Amino acid sequence: MTAVEVDYVIDGPPEGLPVVLSGSLGSDLRMWEPQVAVLAAAGYRVVRYDHRGHGRSPVPPGPYSLADLGSDALALLDRLDIRRSHFVGLSLGGMVGMWVAEHAPHRLHTLTLACTSAELGPPSGWADRAALVRAEGTQAVAVAVVQRWFTPQWRAAHPERTRDYEDMVAATPAEGYASCCVAIETMDIAARLSTVSAPTLIISGVDDPATPPPHGQRIADAIPRTRFETISPAAHLANAELPDTVNDLILGHLKENP
């Protein structure tokens, strides 16, 4: 398990409490643009980064494990001399956040988990998706992925943004995407959720076909200090579909747990 130096961007005042934003499979750090200005204006130092194999981060040969991705996040904190941070993760980023909370609890002030799950193993089709991407590239799944990211109503109202998100998925390196599919299929975090000590906010989109609210509820039932919220209308990228609602929830959580 060797960490890689992932690409990152920092916004907000240098003296602010750090908030790390960890994104979805197939995204890059641009997916957090609906949150950055709000968090920075509230005085937080906002750190966005790309998972290994995504965006401008290195693409080491796969397969990857969730431990690899979690170690990358901790190595980034070390590089930035951040001893403790708030951590906000969506989908794959939420899985990384749970791993960090279980293995390095002293590094977190709070944990926010959006549209994620602690168990998405076989027979969930991850191996088939990884094989398709390795054979045909991420453009082969881009349209289908974005259909699951947003409700039909949102996509109809925002055709240009929908195409931008499709391009984001299609630009993800095939090796990185496929190897992260393996990390999701093989993750082992559910059994240790009861050890998570960070105050945790869980957000589920009512219309999310990938990680519907029962997945969030199972996490909430397992972690001792949780608040569970469902929001609608929102599918998998709820942070972009309902940014004002998600921003209010995140800011409330951070301010309640400074």
Coil, strand or helix: which one is 111? strand
Determine whether 18 is exposed, middle or buried from the number of CB atoms within 10 Å of its CB (0-12, 13-18, 19+). buried
The span from the CA of 200 to the CA of 112, in Å, is: 6
Binning pLDDT at 50, 70 and 90, where does residue 160 land? very high
pLDDT given for residue 159 in this prediction: 98
E strands, the chain, in order: 8-11, 18-22, 45-49, 85-90, 108-114, 200-205, 226-231
**If we measure between CA atoms, which residue out of 87, 67, 99, 89 comes closest to residue 189?**
99
Instruction: Please state the pTM of the whole predicted model.
Output: 0.97
Contact between residue 185 and residue 124 where contact means Cβ atoms under 8 Å apart: yes
Which range, of 18-32, 123-137, 145-159, 205-219, averages the lowest pLDDT? Answer: 123-137
b/e map 206-242, b = 16+ CB within 10 Å: ebbebbbbebbebbbebbeebebbbbbebbbbbbbbb
**If we measure between CA atoms, which residue out of 241, 248, 242, 207 comes closest to residue 227?**
248
Binning pLDDT at 50, 70 and 90, where does residue 123 land? low
Question: Tens digits of per-residue pLDDT, 219-249?
Answer: 999 999 999 999 999 999 999 999 999 999 9
- As a whole number, mean pLDDT of residues 210-214 equals 97
Question: Tens digits of per-residue pLDDT, 11-43?
Answer: 999 999 999 999 999 999 999 999 999 999 999
